[in-house]
């Protein structure tokens, strides 16, 4: 290409390339446009850049082409390449900004990163449903668009400047757009088009390379099976276990402090450690065991036809051998190990890996306490233990986006499958479940336990039989269990809820009764308290507008306990009220919102229930 003839050939190029735009006049004749923002000091990346006009023939095109070649040859990441290209152009042209938009097929939008002349970057998303947007038109029609209106980028601080929106087309497929805002854009049009075309080819090659990497079965660092192959092997082994009615152990090893090693000694040292650990494990496992890199610093082992005791023995042997591995500057490494069992722990593959990670997190916690490498199996702990629940929540929170497993849903499933052996066992499980739900709302910590205590005291004050008192105590503990289905942004909102949000919140009594309690026959007698504790004596409550004695006595008791604790608790918008003031409010609502006789009884015992919860 003869860059000296760009200016003369430009008018023919614009017509032949099918550029569309509302203004075809030469943008050079337009007045100079102000920069994007008010920054006065440029990023050092762009030091030496000037806003002054220049002559096109002053540009050293061979030098520019060489710099662009270096960028394409030296970069492997598309974002880094874009920054490098922008830098090279900005230091030579009077470029207001450039932008890269990449199409996200799964979400059907174009993700745009824009860099202005000062090095400030902005991000915006353009949905393909926005059919009139210039970016969408250029992408869908595979046509270059010249525009002087920057509103399509939906960024507040952009001035209207002459801009080329160039589709990134390769092998007949459009993968995104590149945008160049330049008062001299027509003079540099052929160069911008060349950059966009090469970028499209680069991006397509990057995608193909990533696809090849994903489709290989071997982890390049350790030589073990990668995560994809490991999951395939696990699925096959589980299938064989089902057919032969045998057990299987799934184990995960984690290297302690690998992140500190990476930060202090570099990732090369961390990779060396992972590689050596993998080599050591591979050398010392049984011939029937299957290894794979689970991710990061984690190595997993599938142990077919293995009991929990046998799995622990193998893992202890591996820990002994690993403890003998020494590294310069590191000394002796520490490890954590989590084990889950098929079918003892679960008969589902995804759950099997999740439970192994839960055991691993518990092992990490124990290692942090003792300083020693530890092995934890799912058979070693109670699922409803506080530490186990915390670790389970950590795992599911991390995995939710990729596997679609929700902590609240999983808790309900575990709750329904729990084999209750005694009233004490039931109380422990319910208490843990209620505490987990309370944790969703930072402003009501300990709320369920407090309401249970107040409801129990009121039930005793009205001389109910002991078995009924125990029922009310348990029902009050679960009165807000339906909040398990309420989004956290609604539960945690510090301001007043909107009508739509309030409609969502009012569903929690029904969710608790129908979704959590109804499937479990042993809990059916708790349903009235969960379902009706927000009904009012005058019929103004929810969800059914019951009034007077139509509201079960147990629900009326829980309603008062619930309201009292809410009144004396701190809220984002007020401090908790005194016992006296809270009782005054209860008296004002007696016969309207709450049962008049029950309020009278509660006010008598309230001072003895004073608490800082």
pLDDT at residue 477 greater than cutoff 80: yes
- How many CB atoms are located within 10 Å of the residue 109 CB? 19
Per residue in 336-387, pLDDT tens? 899 999 998 888 888 899 889 888 888 888 887 787 888 999 888 776 666 6
Question: What does the pLDDT read at residue 443?
Answer: 53
With residue 475 as reference, give the H or E element that holds it. helix 466-477
Task: Report the SS3 class of residue 447.
Answer: helix
Q: What span, in angstroms and rounded, lies between the C-alpha atoms of 492 and 305?
A: 47
Question: What does the pLDDT read at residue 183?
Answer: 85
Q: Which of 89-98, 396-405, 546-555 shows the lowest mean pLDDT across its residues?
A: 396-405
For the domain spanning 3-213, the CATH number is 3.30.450.40
Q: What span, in angstroms and rounded, lies between the C-alpha atoms of 187 and 307?
A: 74
Higher pLDDT, 201 or 29: 201
Question: What does the pLDDT read at residue 218?
Answer: 86
- With cut-offs at 50, 70 and 90, classify the pLDDT of residue 408: low
Q: What is the mean pLDDT of residues 419-430?
A: 69
Span(s) in the chain for CATH 3.30.450.40: 3-213
pLDDT at residue 105 greater than cutoff 50: yes
Q: Which long-range contacts (CB under 8 A, 24 or more apart) does 264-271 make?
A: 265/329, 265/330, 269/329, 270/297, 271/221
Q: What percent of the chain lies above the pLDDT cut of 70?
A: 79
Higher pLDDT, 431 or 50: 431
Q: Which two tokens stand for residue 335?
A: 């490890």
Per residue in 299-326, pLDDT tens? 999 999 999 999 999 999 998 888 877 7
Q: What is the mean pLDDT of residues 120-125?
A: 86
Span(s) in the chain for CATH 1.10.3210.10: 406-613
Question: What does the pLDDT read at residue 401?
Answer: 43
What is the SS3 assignment for 101-125?
A: EEEECCCCEEEEEEEECCCCEEEEE
Task: Report the SS3 class of residue 575.
Answer: coil
Span(s) in the chain for CATH 3.30.70.270: 217-401
Q: What is the mean pLDDT of residues 89-116?
A: 89
pLDDT at residue 136 greater than cutoff 80: yes
- With cut-offs at 50, 70 and 90, classify the pLDDT of residue 82: very high
Per residue in 27-72, pLDDT tens? 333 333 333 333 333 333 333 333 444 444 567 888 888 988 988 8
What is the C-alpha radius of gyration for the chain, rounded to an integer number of angstroms?
33
* Model pTM score: 0.46
pLDDT at residue 232 greater than cutoff 60: yes
- With cut-offs at 50, 70 and 90, classify the pLDDT of residue 583: very high
pLDDT at residue 582 greater than cutoff 50: yes
pLDDT at residue 293 greater than cutoff 70: yes
- With cut-offs at 50, 70 and 90, classify the pLDDT of residue 143: very high
Q: Class assignment of domain 406-613?
A: mainly alpha
pLDDT at residue 17 greater than cutoff 60: no
- With cut-offs at 50, 70 and 90, classify the pLDDT of residue 7: very low
Question: What does the pLDDT read at residue 441?
Answer: 59
Higher pLDDT, 323 or 148: 148
Question: What does the pLDDT read at residue 11?
Answer: 37
- CA 416, distance to chain mean position in Å, is 27
Sheet holding 298-304, edge to edge: 290-295, 298-304, 248-255, 335-342, 374-377
Q: Which two tokens stand for residue 114?
A: 């824009």
3.40.30.10, 3.10.450.50, 1.10.10.410, 3.30.70.270: which CATH number matches 217-401?
A: 3.30.70.270
Q: Which two tokens stand for residue 564?
A: 């009292």
Question: What does the pLDDT read at residue 48?
Answer: 36
pLDDT at residue 329 greater than cutoff 90: no
H helix intervals, 285-422: 308-323, 349-370, 386-403, 407-417
Q: What is the mean pLDDT of residues 14-38?
A: 38
Per residue in 248-287, pLDDT tens? 999 999 888 777 777 777 788 888 889 989 999 999 999 9
Question: What does the pLDDT read at residue 35?
Answer: 35
- With cut-offs at 50, 70 and 90, classify the pLDDT of residue 91: confident
Task: Report the SS3 class of residue 436.
Answer: helix
Please give the angle made by the CA atoms of 273, 226 and 346, to the nearest 5 degrees.
105
């Amino acid at each position: 290409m003869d860059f000296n003839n760009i200016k003369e050939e430009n008018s023919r190029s614009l017509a032949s390339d099918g550029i569309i735009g509302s203004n075809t006049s030469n943008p050079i004749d337009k007045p100079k446009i102000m920069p994007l923002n008010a920054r006065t000091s440029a990023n050092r990346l762009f030091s030496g850049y000037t806003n002054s006009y220049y002559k096109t023939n002053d540009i050293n095109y061979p030098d520019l082409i060489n710099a662009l070649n270096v960028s394409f040859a030296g970069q492997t990441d598309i974002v880094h390449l874009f920054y490098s290209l922008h830098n090279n152009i900005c230091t030579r042209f009077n470029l207001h900004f450039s932008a890269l938009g990449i199409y996200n097929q799964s979400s059907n939008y174009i993700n745009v990163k824009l860099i202005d002349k000062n090095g400030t970057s902005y991000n915006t998303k353009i949905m393909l449903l926005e059919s009139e947007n210039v970016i969408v038109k250029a992408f869908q029609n595979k046509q270059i668009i010249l525009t002087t209106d920057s509103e399509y980028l939906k960024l507040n601080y952009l001035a209207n400047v002459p801009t080329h929106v160039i589709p990134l087309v390769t092998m007949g497929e459009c993968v995104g757009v590149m945008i160049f805002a330049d008062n001299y854009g027509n003079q540099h049009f052929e160069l911008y088009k060349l950059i966009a075309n090469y970028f499209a080819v680069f991006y397509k090659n990057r995608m193909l390379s990533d696809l090849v990497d994903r489709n290989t079965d071997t982890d390049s660092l350790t030589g073990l099976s990668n995560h994809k192959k490991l999951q395939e092997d696990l699925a096959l082994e589980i299938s064989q276990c089902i057919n032969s009615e045998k057990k299987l152990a799934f184990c995960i090893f984690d290297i302690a402090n690998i992140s500190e090693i990476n930060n202090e000694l570099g990732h090369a040292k961390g990779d060396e450690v992972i590689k050596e650990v993998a080599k050591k494990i591979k050398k010392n496992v049984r011939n029937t065991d299957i290894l794979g890199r689970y991710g990061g610093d984690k190595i997993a082992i599938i142990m077919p036809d293995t009991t929990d005791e046998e799995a622990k023995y193998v893992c202890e042997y591996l820990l002994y051998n690993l403890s003998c591995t020494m590294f310069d500057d590191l000394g002796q490494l520490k490890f954590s190990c989590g084990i889950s069992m098929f079918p003892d722990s679960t008969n589902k593959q995804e759950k099997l890996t999740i439970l192994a990670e839960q055991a691993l997190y518990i092992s990490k916690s124990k290692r942090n306490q003792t300083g020693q490498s530890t092995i934890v199996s799912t058979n070693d702990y109670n699922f409803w233990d506080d530490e186990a629940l915390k670790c389970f929540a950590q795992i599911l929170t991390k995995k939710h986006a990729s596997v679609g497993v929700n902590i609240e849903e999983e808790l309900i499933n575990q709750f329904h499958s729990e084999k209750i052996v005694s009233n004490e066992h039931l109380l422990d499980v319910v208490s843990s479940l209620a505490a987990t739900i309370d944790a969703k709302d930072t402003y009501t910590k300990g709320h369920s336990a407090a309401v249970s205590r107040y409801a129990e005291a009121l039930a005793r004050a009205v001389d109910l039989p002991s078995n009924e008192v125990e029922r009310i105590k348990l029902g009050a503990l679960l009165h807000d269990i339906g909040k398990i289905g309420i989004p956290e942004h609604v539960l945690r909102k510090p301001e007043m809820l909107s009508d739509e949000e309030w409609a969502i919140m009012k569903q929690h009594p029904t969710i608790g009764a129908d979704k959590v309690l109804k499937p479990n026959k042993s809990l059916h007698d708790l349903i009235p308290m969960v379902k009706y504790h927000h009904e009012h004596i005058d019929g103004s409550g929810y969800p059914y507008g019951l009034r007077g004695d139509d509201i079960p006595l147990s629900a009326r008791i829980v309603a008062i306990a619930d309201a009292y604790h809410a009144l004396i608790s701190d809220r984002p918008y007020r401090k908790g009220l005194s016992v006296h003031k809270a009782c005054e409010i209860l008296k004002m609502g007696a016969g309207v919102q709450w049962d008049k006789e029950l309020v009278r009884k509660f006010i008598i015992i309230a001072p003895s229930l004073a608490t800082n919860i």
